[in-house]
């Protein structure tokens, strides 16, 4: 089967599970219903427009802070992307390429030192790349190729959480010590198209899909995973920022494109301010009080827009 057909099968299957149909080239954008939370809840932070990406993309990775971030790899409706972009607090500029173009990958770290792992091109891959802020370099492979997983941690101490391989959904996780990957315990519930935040020891796996849309979260204490509180809105392909003490989940899809944001603290989720543009398959970076989201898929297709939460 050709790479193009593999790509169409994967994108189509993922969108089908979410109740979507992949639009064909030359056709108009589908019509979406957009929902939010109806308010900003107990948090005063709001989303505002920031500088646009140079290249529209979804299924990418975000790393860094609200003032210094990376957007790495992804998919633009036609091609898997190797290119990265750097955000300096006001504008995006081109950064060095990954060695392997990929989408539906995961990562962690900062704008100057990140780790990218897994993804699809078009099948699930195991390759990981430390990214120096200027280029990707080869590193040890995951023991299990996976895509549509999530990541937490830094460039030298990271976690690859759950996801999907060619045969099944995964509950298994792997940890990275700066050199090699090793098994790191299982989630209670296999999932993909989820988000994560935190460190390699203290991580939060958020929502996603396992045949049904999920609102559940799971939290790691460095040794075991346990149930966290449920989101008020189940969602697949959200983005996240923050840590296990103060996390943030925003956007996603649950039959409608979502603008809603939820804050996590002590196993409880609370409503935050709504995104200006409903999106999923986007990326996030930063903290619960100062976050960035960029790219993704919205009502008109793949997005270049960025929003800042403060």
Mean local confidence (pLDDT), 223-240: 96
Mean local confidence (pLDDT), 190-206: 97
- The conformation of residue 3, written as its DSSP 8-state character, comes to H
Count of structural domains, the chain: 1
Instruction: Kindly report, residue by residue over 127-156, the tens digit of the pLDDT.
Output: 999 998 777 888 899 999 999 999 999 999
Taking residue 44's Cβ as centre, other Cβ atoms within 10 Å add up to 10
Mean local confidence (pLDDT), 246-273: 96
pLDDT for residue 14 is more than 70:
no
pLDDT band at 9 (very low <50, low <70, confident <90, very high): very low
pLDDT for residue 121 is more than 90:
yes
CATH number at residue 209: 2.120.10.80
Mean local confidence (pLDDT), 79-107: 97
Mean local confidence (pLDDT), 88-106: 97
The whole-number pLDDT of residue 21 equals: 33
pLDDT for residue 34 is more than 80:
no
The whole-number pLDDT of residue 134 equals: 77
Distance, CA of 92 to CA of 115 (rounded, Å)? 20
Cβ neighbourhood burial of 226 (10 Å; 0-12, 13-18, 19+):
exposed
For a pLDDT cut of 90, what percent of the chain falls above it? 81
Range of the domain at 71: 3-309
For a pLDDT cut of 70, what percent of the chain falls above it? 86
- The pLDDT mean for the chain works out to 88
pLDDT for residue 256 is more than 70:
yes
Mean local confidence (pLDDT), 157-161: 98
User: Distance from CA of residue 55 to its chain's centroid?
Assistant: 17
The whole-number pLDDT of residue 25 equals: 28
Q: Does residue 133 come out as left (phi exceeding 0), alpha (psi in the -120 to 50 range) or beta?
A: left
The whole-number pLDDT of residue 199 equals: 97
Cβ neighbourhood burial of 189 (10 Å; 0-12, 13-18, 19+):
middle
The whole-number pLDDT of residue 36 equals: 53
pLDDT for residue 286 is more than 80:
yes
The whole-number pLDDT of residue 137 equals: 85
Whether the Cβ atoms of residue 94 and residue 85 lie closer than 8 Å to each other: yes
The whole-number pLDDT of residue 223 equals: 83
DSSP 58-120: BS-EEEE-SSSEEEEEEE-SS-EEEEEEEE-SS-EEEEPPPSS--BS-EEEE-SSSEEEE--B
């Amino acid at each position: 089967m050709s790479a193009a057909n593999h790509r169409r099968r994967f994108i189509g299957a993922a969108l089908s599970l979410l109740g979507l149909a992949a639009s064909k080239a030359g056709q108009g954008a589908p019509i979406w219903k957009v929902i939010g939370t109806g308010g900003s809840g107990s948090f005063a932070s709001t989303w505002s427009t920031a500088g646009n990406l140079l290249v529209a993309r979804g299924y990418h990775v975000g790393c860094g802070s609200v003032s210094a971030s990376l957007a790495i790899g992804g998919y633009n409706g036609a091609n898997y992307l190797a290119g990265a972009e750097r955000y300096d607090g006001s504008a995006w500029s081109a950064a060095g390429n990954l060695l392997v173009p990929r989408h539906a990958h995961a990562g962690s770290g900062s704008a100057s030192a990140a780790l990218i792992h897994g993804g699809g091109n078009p099948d699930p891959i195991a390759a990981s790349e430390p990214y120096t802020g200027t280029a990707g370099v080869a590193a040890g492979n995951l023991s299990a190729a996976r895509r549509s997983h999530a990541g937490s941690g830094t460039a030298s101490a990271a976690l690859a959480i759950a996801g999907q391989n060619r045969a099944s959904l995964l509950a298994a996780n792997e940890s990275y010590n700066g050199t090699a990957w090793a098994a790191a315990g299982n989630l209670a519930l296999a999932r993909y198209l989820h988000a994560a935040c935190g460190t390699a020891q203290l991580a939060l796996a958020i929502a996603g899909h396992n045949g049904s849309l999920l609102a559940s979260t799971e939290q790691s204490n460095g040794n075991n995973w346990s149930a966290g509180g449920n989101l008020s809105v189940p969602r697949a392909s959200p983005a996240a920022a923050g840590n296990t003490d103060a996390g943030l989940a925003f956007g996603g899809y649950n039959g409608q494109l979502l603008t809603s944001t939820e804050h996590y603290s002590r196993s409880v989720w609370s409503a935050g301010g709504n995104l200006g543009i409903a999106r999923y398959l986007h990326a996030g970076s930063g903290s619960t009080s100062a976050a960035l989201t960029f790219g993704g898929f919205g009502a008109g297709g793949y997005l270049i827009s960025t929003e800042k939460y403060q």
